[in-house]
Structure 1
Amino acid sequence: MTAAKCIETMKKATFYTIPLLIAALALPATAAHAHEPLYKNGQQIFLVAPDGSLLDYIPEYGSVVMGRDGRGRPILLDHNGNLVATEMTAGEYGVYRDSYGGAPDPAANGWGRRDWRQNGDRFAARPNRFGESAPRWNGQPSSAFPQAPEIPAPASPDISEERPAARTSSAKPDMNVVALQVFLDRNGISPGVIDGLMGDNVRKALAAYAKKSGRAIDPEADKETILQSLSLEGGLPVRTYTITAEDAAGPYVASIPSDYGKKAELPALSYTSVSEMLAEKFHMGEGFLKTLNPDADFSRPGTVIKVVTPGGKQKDTVARIIADKGRKQLFAYDAEGGLVAAYPATIGSNDTPSPSGTVTVERIAIDPNYTYDPKKNFKQGDNDRVLTINPGPNGPVGNVWIALSKPSYGIHGTPDPERIGKTSSHGCVRLTNWDAQELAGMVKAGVTVEFID
């Protein structure tokens, strides 16, 4: 079978979906970095990445296809035919871990990429029809945390607030897509992180732009129109920026620990690097920022770098918000029913859904403290007392908390903007920090928030 036919066969395969376990079940210590517990045919299973590590997320529906390697083992492939993970039962993973120490060379022992490629399934890495690759996650393990500063946390904790290292992708950023993302951002329709990749968040933003403006955009046919519009309003999508002494000074923290007790010892949940701070300032993916500036010393004042030029904050008054769970998107409307802004969002999950119906905004907190109380909701690690975690963009709820009338639920920021719209949360609505800040400036107490499916 040719590579093209193999890829086509995989594309026609049933999309891989796994139901999440509703009842919480502790993973063994060796699987501390794994995704949430999964069961298939009555057996607990793990998703093992090609490097031997445990995948710490569950691929979103449609982002991967199911196949089998040369030994008949279930595998997950992205739409380029690249191996994402091998499915193993708990018993298989135990034997694998004991034999290979948990992080072997996959090519040497057959657990991973080279195994299925050596059996005739030669999937050449190439852009898929959207010019993108499946989501990858190389961050820290998920850990539970409450959803609100200074108020009781939800019964089921949210996923990790850990900020991973800058993510890399096999897909090459397309500067035409960058221009499109900047155009959408300047028009109040957030594409999420600007990274030059034509992903779902961009496609959702295109639909929202058509709804707001009454005019649909064809990313291919309208390239010149987009560039002309950008040059007349705000300038070209990429410009230079000189790193200042203030940028380099921070303050920054070396890393963000997962343990709440150690978090509480930090004076602030600050950025961990100049590049992380600048990426958020310019609404960019940190990996894309580094791709644009491969030789830059971000810690040195006077360094000239390339950045995108996003739009300023929208200034309208929002009277009504719709949180669309199915689209993973939040829509903000004015009093006349006009669409003011749209943001990609992570909204609830099947096991711990967001509220149904309509609630209201109660208050807005910028740079909120974060209160952890193990007696009210859950216990994290060995922490058994109330902790106050100081503010910062890498805090559990980012740097914004918009409290809703349903206790413990809110709209908030996140320390990991690149996962917005791609994973499940446990009830709350997560936006990028910059989108949450923009929304916070347009709402006030009493604004209605309607959750729809």
Structure 2
Amino acid sequence: MKKLFSSLVSTLVLALVLPARAVIPDALPAAPEPVEDILRLQIFLDTQLFGPGKVDGRPGDITTQALKLYQRTQGLPETEVAAHTLDLSSVPEVYTTYTIRPEDLKYVGDLPSQPSAQSKKKYLPYDSLLEFLTERFHCSPELIEFINRPMKMAALKPGDVVKVPSVQPFLIEELTQIAKLPEVPEFLTRVIKIDTREKRLRLYEGEKLLATLPITPGSGHLATPPGTWRILGIAQMPTFRWDKSVLEYGVRSSSYYQLPLGPNNPVGVMWIGLNKPGIGIHGTNQPQTIGRSASHGCMRTANWDVVRLVKMITQGMTVIIEGPAPVPRPPVYAKAVKAEEVRPAEAAPPPPEPRRGLKLFFWKK
């Protein structure tokens, strides 16, 4: 009886809040089955660089947030996903196909879970062809697996044809290591604004919103520092200095591991350094958690988003961060930091920790 009552209440609520032309069916399919109308909207928003997060054909706060921001820029009434009236004819097909190539295997390989072992490698690759596909096509692994049933994703090999969302592919093979990308003078008047409470980055030119992406900012003792900052430089395919003291206290020590470049580098494929030591905007090795979990100071976003953002910004630009300041640490932490062998801050430190808990930091699907 209780289960029946709950079902009736859910049906009644949907009937009350959704208009007759709603694109979401009354009975939402059980996850991870995608809703095609939501998938089409996510692909549209992703193409406009109004990031909906991972493309999965499921409703959620990140997609709704991106939709409302896009509607606002177009002078349209802001609505929920079910009630939007956007013209999505620019997305005629929600799926396309991709044939696994022999050269794709160059970016897939063994990925140790510990930084000590990772530091001994020359490259941090994808751990599977499935992970390669999810990043290439901006989507969740559950979506890839569902739309390709009964194909076994663990058994993918060159020559296999896989069904994927029709987004602009993220091309890892086009990225080379560049220590500092050149300045683009015409972008200097643009401004990045970040409110860490809404977990979203916005790029403006004057009053015009050019792009907006979901991010994961820092929180607590290592919250992303509010203030007006400047981009010092942008590095492509950076290496990464893994330092336990930074993770736990936000202070550099002499005990660390230097991790090599690669899509599974903790700061991903791009590092946008600010004139606040140790703080930047960067990619990630965990795109499925963007906008949902917390980091330890920096602002991370999906590799497929940050590579497109970098094409619209330049060093010297202003970055305005709003949100709560870091929470002061209790005295016990100060004593623990003193016990560390700490080096003086450097004028231009290498990319800092993507400041996440150790368990999530290296957890792989």
TM-score by length of 1: 0.58
Q: Which of these residues, 106, 110, 126, is aligned with residue 250 of structure 1?
A: 106
1:378-424 per-position Cα deviation (integer Å, ceiling 9, x unaligned): 59xxx974421101111111111111111001101111111111111
Q: Matches of residues 24-423 of structure 1 in structure 2 within 5 Å?
A: 131=28, 170-216=31-77, 219-220=81-82, 225-226=87-88, 228-231=89-92, 236-247=93-104, 249-257=105-113, 259-296=114-151, 299-311=156-168, 317=187, 319-334=190-205, 336-373=206-243, 385-423=255-293
Does 1:2 find its partner at 2:16? no
Q: CA 1:4/1:426 → structure 2, altered by over 3 Å: closer, same or farther? A: farther
**2: CA distance, partners of 1:287 / 1:223:** 28
User: Within 2, Cα distance between the matches of 1:419 and 1:374?
Assistant: 21
8 A contact 1:323–1:347 mirrored in 2? no
AA partner of residue 95 (structure 2): V
Name the CA distance, whole Å, in 2 between partners of 1:229 and 1:352.
42
Structure number with higher relative contact order (C-alpha < 8 Å, ≥ 6 residues apart): 2
The answer to whether 1:451 aligns with 2:308 is no
> Contact 2:32 / 2:142 at 8 angstroms: preserved in 1?
no
Alpha carbons of structure 1 residues 352 and 441: separation in structure 2 relative to 1, 3 Å: same
Deviation at 1:372, TM superposition (A): 3.1
Deviation of residue 352 (structure 1)? Answer: 2.3
Closer, same or farther: CA 267–128 of 1 in aligned 2, 3 Å: farther
- Write the deviation string for residues 122-181 of structure 1: whole angstroms up to 9, x where unpaired: xxxxx998959xxxxxxxxxxxxxxxxxxxxxxxxxxxxxxxxxxxx8442211111010
* 1:98-145: CA deviation from partner (whole Å, max 9, x where unpaired): xxxxxxxxxxxxxxxxxxxxxxxxxxxxx998959xxxxxxxxxxxxx
- Using the TM superposition, give the Cα deviation of residue 337 of structure 1 relative to its aligned residue in structure 2, in angstroms: 2.5
Amino acid aligned to 2:167: P
Aligned AA (1:211): R
Q: Give the number of aligned pairs.
A: 290
CA distance in 2, matches of 1:366, 1:427: 20
Structure 1 position 268, deviation (Å): 1.1
Where is the helix percentage greater, Structure 1 or Structure 2? 2
CA distance in 2, matches of 1:178, 1:212: 21
Q: Could you list the runs of 5+ residues in structure 2 that have no partner in the other structure?
A: 10-23, 171-183, 324-365
SS in 1 for 2:42: helix
One-letter amino acid matched to 2:196: K
Q: CA deviation at 1:224?
A: 8.7
> Structure 1 residues 268 and 8, CA, compared in 2 at 3 Å: closer, same or farther?
farther
CA distance in 1, matches of 2:247, 2:220: 19
**Cα gap change, 1:192/1:403 in structure 2, threshold over 3 Å: closer, same or farther?**
same
Question: Over aligned residue pairs, what C-alpha RMSD do you find?
Answer: 3.2
Would the alpha carbon gap of residues 292 and 427 (structure 1) be closer, same or farther in structure 2, given more than 3 Å must change? same
> Quick one: distance in 2 between partners of 1:358 and 1:442?
19
- The amino acid of 2:61's aligned partner reads D
AA matched with 1:355: P
Change (3 A) 1:302 1:326: same
What is the rounded CA distance, in whole Å, between the counterparts of 1:3 and 1:327 in structure 2?
35
Give the CA deviation at 1:276: 0.8
Q: Percent identity?
A: 31
Q: Distance in 2 between matches of 1:256 and 1:173?
A: 32
Runs (5+) with no aligned partner, structure 1: 10-126, 133-168
User: Matched residues in 1 for 2:235 and 2:228: separation?
Assistant: 21
Letter in 1 for 2:58: L
Report the Cα distance in structure 1 between the residues aligned to 2:293 and 2:314, rounded to whole angstroms.
Answer: 28
Shift of 1:184: 0.6
- Matches of 2:221 and 2:28 in 1, distance apart? 33
The code of the aligned residue for 2:97 comes to T
**How far apart are residue 261 of structure 1 and its match?**
0.9
Partner residue, 2:361: none
Q: 1:330 to 1:131 in 2, by over 3 A?
A: farther
- Per-residue deviation, 1:446: 1.3
